[in-house]
Amino acid sequence: MHKAEIIEKVAGLWPEVFMLIGATVCLFIGLSKGKGPRRSTPWIAAVTLIIAAFMVGDNLGSETNALAGMAGYVKLAVAGIGLILLMVTAGVPNRLRQTIDAEAAKEFEPGDIMTGEFYAFFLLSLTGVMLTAGAGDLVWLFLALELTSLPTYVMVATSRDRVEAQESAVKYFFLGALSAAVFLYGFALIYGATGSTDFVEITAIVQQQMAEGGGRLPGLLLMGLTLSVVGVCFKIAAVPMHFYTADVYEGAATPVTAFLAFVPKTAGAVALILLLSLVGWPLPIEIESLIWIIAAVTMTLGNVLGLLQNNVKRVLAYSSIAHSGYILVGLLAGPAVNEAAGGALGNGIAAILFYLVAYGLGTIASFAVLGCLRADDREAQTYKHISGLHKKHPFLAAVMLLSVLSLVGLPPLVGFLGKVYLIGSAFSAGFTMLVIVLVLNSAISAAYYLRIASACYFGEPDDSVYSAGIFPRYAGALVAAVLAVVLGIIGNGLVNATRNATSATQTTAQTESLPAQAAANLRNINQ
Amino acid sequence: MPIELIKLIPWIPLLGAALCGICCMKPAWRKAAGPISVLSIFIPFLITCGVYSAASGLQGDDKIQTIYQWMGVGNFTVNMGYYVDSLTMVMLFVITGIGSLIATYAMGYMKGERGYARFFMGVSLFIFAMTTLVMADNLVLIYLGWEGVGLCSYLLIGYYYDKPEAVAAAKKAFIVNRIGDLGFALGIFLTYKAYGSVSLHTVVDKAIEFLNDPNYTATTADLWIPFLLMLGAFGKSAQIPLYVWLPDAMAGPTPVSALVHAATMVTAGVYMIARLIPVFQLSPYALPTVAAVGGVTALFAGTIALCQYDLKKVFAYSTVSQLGYMFLGVGALSTFGGIFHLFTHAFFKALLFLTAGSVMHALAGQLDLRAMSGLRHKMPVTCWLMFAGCLALAGFPFTAGFFSKDTILAETLIVGMEGNGLFTLLALIGLLTAFLTAFYTFRLWFRVFMGPEHFEMGDDHGHGGDDSHDDHGHAHEPHEMPWWPMNAPLAVLAFGAIFGGLIFSGWMSGSIETSTANPIAIHAVDTHAQTDPGYSIIQVASDTSGHGSEADAAHGDEHHTLMGMDVHTAMMLISGFIALLGIGCAAYFHWLNRPLTDEIAKKFGVVVEVLYNKYYVDEFYDAVIVKPLRMLGHGFFLFDQFVINGLVITVGYLPRLVGWSVQPTQSGKMQGYGLGMVLGVAVAALLVFKWAF
């Protein structure tokens, strides 16, 4: 890569640079002695996110990446949902010891106070997702993925002053490192097979190799892709890298779990789209079969394990696995399988991008409700804790109901639209069997989602449960739930945006006009 | 006034309904619901008047006023958009104009009722649904309004939800309408399949194109679409065989009856057929079927109305009968006649129902004709207002009903004279029905207001316990209604019922000509039609289109004369005479010589009994449809309970079983997880390796 190209590339990264600056500021201010400045860190994070979102909006269309439209969309979505997550995680770093409110301690104990670090890591992880979306190079992609994950290990470890949190952080870290080794090996093999790390060059070489090999990929490249895909499955919590999910999600503080369920998963899904776009759709039969199996097993495993749980947090963790399976279905379909179908119905990538937001809103809202509750000075986690929620906290019960219904995929909520698009694109691409598996899995998932809803509305209240009383968390839950309704009704604009965002994935000839079009659409949404 | 304001018309009543809903919350606010509702209907009326000149000047694509895209899936797009042409404007005048008069009357009528605010919420919502229906630029939006009026009728007919018969009537209205709606929905699906669009202008334009194309042969879809749509229209507009809900709909408060019967709901079917008349013309059997069903319904309902004793039932069956006329008119390709009759009927039927409501109000809920007589001294204003309505309904010369009914009959006869025997027969049926109409209408009026004074009060004492009513003696003595808000709107309606025909005839015919309801083909049906039933109107259209520009069905064909006169003039004379004859007979039998009537009725007791029991159609439906369905339902229930349920429970265990079998992998041990991941990677790599090489 030439120097000029690098400069050009960095020039398109102002939002990420700004996020980094914000993170650094948070880190520094978190060290200050006075309470006031330390308490300002969440606000600094919020302002950073808002400004970064506007910068993304301004920057749209000027990116040189062929997937510029998708990158802009993902960055905006991450910044937007990041704001909700910021509300939901409010108060987390402030609750270190069960009995002592760290911020209330008279003496300044730097070792006890995590506020600055927490928000710095928060911003850094989101920066990682943004960088992933903008990646144009394998090395870049690897670094961006790791930038997404590394801060989350710390966030999990410090989110609760309990041994479970540390245990889950250690598990998460080691298994994450293992998976990073796997996909890094995969990246290395891809480099070995093509002699380049640049996406554009790799694509060109792959086309050439396929033409020479009679439409078949060289074995080295195939193996590299396999390892990359399987390795990145860790980020989205798909089989066979799903084992950690339930344990880590359970161990982390609930708001941090919400973060884990959305942020790394988005990065992983985007990374998978980018990796597979190297060979293009329709995918080589071997990769297609592999992802087919992974998708089917992932959603089934997630749902049947979710059925057996009594711990709502673990149920939602398994549901998050199942949703990864759904996302993989869209990945199989790929972009532009059926232009005539319109919307995201004929575009699996657009469907994924929409589904990530749909799933994010539903799952964040449900975790936020759990996070708003405490039982006997511990986290509320089981069905027993949320039973009869309606009688004591009707607002939280309503949010929970909306979010689980959206996750089931009932109209008019956003989850319904998301599933319609996924199923539509997969169906247009001819994956009929997989669509049947998906629909059956939706039915299975309804059993535990509705169990949550029925516990909230028809159970007997548990006296030990009380509200954590953190207002921003309520607000975050409310915003997510309201968005789930609103986007479900007027999701069309967003869909057109995602569709335009991905029209450019393969048809490079149109890259001139389509990202601009996408940018126009995205700007409309932004306003 | 800018044309864009027309987009607001449906939404103002919706806002009104929401506000009325809010008014339900606190007793102190409830009184505000009436005025809010009236305003929410009256403001759209003002808008309709204001934009009228702008709206009638719209050309081409300007007629489509889109608010936003409602849904879009691939090529299938549905807009929240309105199609504004002169037919729309006519319907809007009827709905908002008559609607606001009825709502004003209701402010007085419903005073002190429980659920006052709930009632007005329903009324406003009704107007929202109905205006949406007539303004919609696509079939799906029409369907929204269509279902909306169905829902609102359910809510309003079942207004007295503590009365079992009201609840039963509400359910009946809803369910019978559903049958029609099923047909309508299927019709919409098939239309989309056949035309590739659900938007009105596309469908109508394509149908016109087909009609004008001599080489076009009707497809199966073309033949079926009208019949499916027709079923919907018959359900909503209460025609045989789906008319049974309308007479029972009397269980609601009287203003609701007026609203359902006059301004809204039942006119929807006529409107829909008129709007889509080219689509109906594509099927050679469709319009004759519409006309035949209309004609038979008119006669059928007219005979039932002869022997009813319930004041509102008589009017209810007369509505069914008059709707039959409208369908007859539309079926004879005289959309002008059909819509014109719809328009005039709105005036006099609203007037009749509301005056009947006044009588009922005055007699504390008494509706039995036999329990009242000679009320003209007690209620002079109501007496003469109802007289005006009766004249119009009876088709007394130069009243509104006279002109519109006449147009229908003359047009039908013209089609008949052109060689289609069916239409000649239908015109004769129409004339017979006209006689019956005049007779039963004045039977009622003479019974109630003429003769010796006599009345029995009903058992509905105190109008819902409203002590503050201005007339304290009302529970013992019939009394006149106050001018405001009750009699004044009726006076407006009476004016329309008497003079509406003279004033609006020209305007109406011009409005229909410039709308999509203007029929394309000359209605001339060739003599072939008799010998060859498969002979298609399309061919007729192509045959006659060569004759020049004389394609205006409303003004008939010059060749046909009756008794040496233009058919229209002749028909006016005949039907005027028939109306007078009917009124005269009624006067003789029900005013001057009542004992004779009773004697005759005794002699023909069987006939009276059959008519009084409405030909036992309800009982027939109950035995043939309702009971078997219920039995089937019980059967299905048992099957569901024992077979399906068992299966489902068994299947439900399957996911759990799988879950239990894989649960051990979630051991919580990191080593296990790491091993699992590595094994997974290995399996994936091996699989790909095996597939690839």
Residue A435 confidence (pLDDT): 93
Highest-scoring range by mean pLDDT, A448-462, B46-60, B207-221:
A448-462
Whether B575 and B637 map to the same domain: the answer is no
Last residue of a domain, one of B545, B578, B605: B605
User: Considering the domain boundaries, does residue B430 fall inside one?
Assistant: yes
| Calpha distance A196→A348 (Å, rounded) | 28
Nearest CA in chain A to B77: A342
CA B585 to chain centre: 31
| Calpha distance B592→B440 (Å, rounded) | 15
Write the DSSP string, A68-120: HHHHHHHHHHHHHHHHHHHHHTTTSTT--SSS--GGG-SS--TTT--HHHHHH
User: Considering the domain boundaries, does residue B536 fall inside one?
Assistant: yes
Q: Which residues of B touch A185 (CB under 8 A)?
A: none
B389 by DSSP, 3-state: which? Answer: helix
Nearest CA in chain B to A178: B674
Whether B388 and B423 map to the same domain: the answer is yes
User: Considering the domain boundaries, does residue B417 fall inside one?
Assistant: yes
User: Considering the domain boundaries, does residue A341 fall inside one?
Assistant: yes
Residue B29 confidence (pLDDT): 85
Contact (CB, 8 A) for A134 and A267: no
Residue A171 C-alpha, separation from nearest chain B C-alpha, in angstroms: 6
Which residues constitute the domain of residue A325?
281-490
Query: Which distant-in-sequence residues (6+ apart) come within 8 Å of A202 by Cβ?
Result: A138, A190, A194, A196, A278
Nearest CA in chain B to A217: B692
Nearest CA in chain B to A248: B668
Specify the number of domains making up chain B. Answer: 2
Contact (CB, 8 A) for B129 and B101: no
Q: Which residues of B touch A447 (CB under 8 A)?
A: 652, 655
Residue B207 confidence (pLDDT): 87
Residue B223 confidence (pLDDT): 87
Whether A186 and A217 map to the same domain: the answer is yes
**Residue B310 backbone phi and psi in degrees, to 5:** -85, 125
Q: Which residues of B touch A239 (CB under 8 A)?
A: 680
Cβ distance of A222 and B685 shorter than 8 Å: no
Whether A272 and A389 map to the same domain: the answer is no
B314-371, pLDDT tens digit by residue? 999 999 999 999 999 999 888 888 999 999 999 999 999 999 988 888 888 888 888 8
**Amino acid letter, residue B370:** R
Whether A345 and A326 map to the same domain: the answer is yes
User: Considering the domain boundaries, does residue B295 fall inside one?
Assistant: no
| Calpha distance A26→A40 (Å, rounded) | 9
User: Considering the domain boundaries, does residue A58 fall inside one?
Assistant: no
Contact (CB, 8 A) for B351 and B268: no
Whether B568 and B674 map to the same domain: the answer is no
Cβ distance of B659 and A179 shorter than 8 Å: no
Contact (CB, 8 A) for B501 and B348: no
Q: What is the mean pLDDT of chain A?
A: 84
Whether B398 and B526 map to the same domain: the answer is yes
Residue A210 at interface with chain B, using a CB cutoff of 8 Å = no
Residue A179 at interface with chain B, using a CB cutoff of 8 Å = yes
Residue A313 C-alpha, separation from nearest chain B C-alpha, in angstroms: 15
Whether A276 and A292 map to the same domain: the answer is no
User: Considering the domain boundaries, does residue A146 fall inside one?
Assistant: yes
Nearest CA in chain A to B73: A342
User: Considering the domain boundaries, does residue A206 fall inside one?
Assistant: yes
Q: Which two tokens stand for residue B684?
A: 């994936």
Whether A234 and A289 map to the same domain: the answer is no
Residue in A243, A304, A340 closest to B677 by CB: A243
Q: How many CB pairs under 8 A join A and B?
A: 109
B216 by DSSP, 3-state: which? Answer: coil
Whether B329 and B366 map to the same domain: the answer is yes
Residue B361 confidence (pLDDT): 84
pLDDT over 70 at B96, yes or no: yes
Residue B73 C-alpha, separation from nearest chain A C-alpha, in angstroms: 6
**Residue B185 backbone phi and psi in degrees, to 5:** -60, -45
Partners of B466 in beta bridges: none
Between the two ends of chain B, the Cα-to-Cα distance in Å is 76
Q: Which residues of B touch A303 (CB under 8 A)?
A: 655
B582 by DSSP, 3-state: which? Answer: helix
Q: Which helix (H) or strand (E) holds A180?
A: helix A163-194
User: Considering the domain boundaries, does residue A91 fall inside one?
Assistant: no
Which residues constitute the domain of residue B652?
620-692
Residue B472 confidence (pLDDT): 42
Q: What is the mean pLDDT of chain B?
A: 84
Whether B334 and B481 map to the same domain: the answer is yes
pLDDT over 50 at A384, yes or no: yes
Whether B674 and B564 map to the same domain: the answer is no
pLDDT band at B85 (very low <50, low <70, confident <90, very high): confident
pLDDT over 90 at B284, yes or no: no
Enumerate residues 231 to 250 of chain A having a beta carbon within 8 A of any beta carbon in chain B: 231, 234, 239-241, 243-244, 246-247
Last residue of a domain, one of B578, B605, B632: B605
Residue B504, phi-psi category: left (phi > 0), alpha (psi -120 to 50), beta (remainder) = alpha
User: Considering the domain boundaries, does residue B171 fall inside one?
Assistant: no
In a mutagenesis test of the A interface, which of B688, B689, B690 is the best target, namely the one with the most A β-carbons within 10 Å?
Answer: B688
Q: Which two tokens stand for residue B534?
A: 């498969």
B517-539, pLDDT tens digit by residue? 777 654 333 334 443 444 344 43
The stretch A141-159 carries a mean pLDDT of 92
Nearest CA in chain A to B673: A243
Last residue of a domain, one of B605, B629, B654: B605
Cβ distance of B670 and A174 shorter than 8 Å: yes
Residue B72 confidence (pLDDT): 75
Whether A307 and A320 map to the same domain: the answer is yes
Residue B548 at interface with chain A, using a CB cutoff of 8 Å = no
Whether A172 and A228 map to the same domain: the answer is yes
Span of A219-223, B256-260, B519-523 with lowest mean pLDDT? B519-523
Query: Which distant-in-sequence residues (6+ apart) come within 8 Å of B117 by Cβ?
Result: B20, B21, B23, B24, B29, B30, B33
Cβ distance of A307 and B656 shorter than 8 Å: yes
Residue A115 confidence (pLDDT): 84
Whether B506 and B638 map to the same domain: the answer is no
User: Considering the domain boundaries, does residue A161 fall inside one?
Assistant: yes
Whether A318 and A422 map to the same domain: the answer is yes
Residue A445 C-alpha, separation from nearest chain B C-alpha, in angstroms: 10
Whether B391 and B536 map to the same domain: the answer is yes
Residue A86 confidence (pLDDT): 92
Residue A296 confidence (pLDDT): 94
Write the DSSP string, A360-414: HHHHHHHHHHHHTEEETTEE--BHHHHTTHHHH-HHHHHHHHHHHHHHHT-TTSH
User: Considering the domain boundaries, does residue B624 fall inside one?
Assistant: yes
pLDDT band at A60 (very low <50, low <70, confident <90, very high): low
- Pairing, β A373-375 against β A465-467: antiparallel
Whether A301 and A346 map to the same domain: the answer is yes
Residue A513 confidence (pLDDT): 34
User: Considering the domain boundaries, does residue B457 fall inside one?
Assistant: yes
Whether A354 and A428 map to the same domain: the answer is yes
User: Considering the domain boundaries, does residue B190 fall inside one?
Assistant: no
pLDDT over 90 at B66, yes or no: no
B156-187, pLDDT tens digit by residue? 998 988 889 899 999 999 989 988 999 999 99
User: Residue-wise over B425-459: b if at least 16 C-beta within 10 A, else e?
Assistant: ebbbbbbbbbbbbbbbbbbbbbbbbbbeeebebbe
Whether B449 and B492 map to the same domain: the answer is yes
pLDDT over 70 at B469, yes or no: no
Whether B365 and B505 map to the same domain: the answer is yes
Residue B69 at interface with chain A, using a CB cutoff of 8 Å = yes
Whether A239 and A321 map to the same domain: the answer is no
Query: Which distant-in-sequence residues (6+ apart) come within 8 Å of A478 by Cβ?
Result: A395, A399
Whether B481 and B624 map to the same domain: the answer is no
pLDDT over 70 at B613, yes or no: yes
The stretch A471-487 carries a mean pLDDT of 91
Residue A524 at interface with chain B, using a CB cutoff of 8 Å = no
Cβ distance of B662 and A304 shorter than 8 Å: yes
Cβ distance of B656 and A304 shorter than 8 Å: yes
A65-93, pLDDT tens digit by residue? 445 568 888 888 899 999 999 999 888 87
- Name which of A262, A477, A472 is nearest A370 in CA terms: A477
Residue in B668, B674, B688 closest to A226 by CB: B688
**Residue A336 backbone phi and psi in degrees, to 5:** 50, 45
Q: Which residues of B touch A340 (CB under 8 A)?
A: 74-75
Q: Which helix (H) or strand (E) holds A8?
A: helix A3-11
Residue B457 confidence (pLDDT): 79
Specify the number of domains making up chain A. Answer: 2
The stretch B228-235 carries a mean pLDDT of 92
Residue A445 at interface with chain B, using a CB cutoff of 8 Å = no
Query: Which distant-in-sequence residues (6+ apart) come within 8 Å of A13 by Cβ?
Result: A131, A134
Residue A394 at interface with chain B, using a CB cutoff of 8 Å = no
Q: Which residues of A touch B75 (CB under 8 A)?
A: 340, 342
Whether A345 and A243 map to the same domain: the answer is no
Residue A88 at interface with chain B, using a CB cutoff of 8 Å = no
Of B478 and B210, the structure prediction assigns the larger pLDDT to B210
A318-339, pLDDT tens digit by residue? 999 999 999 999 999 887 655 5
Cβ distance of A227 and B685 shorter than 8 Å: yes
The stretch A150-164 carries a mean pLDDT of 87
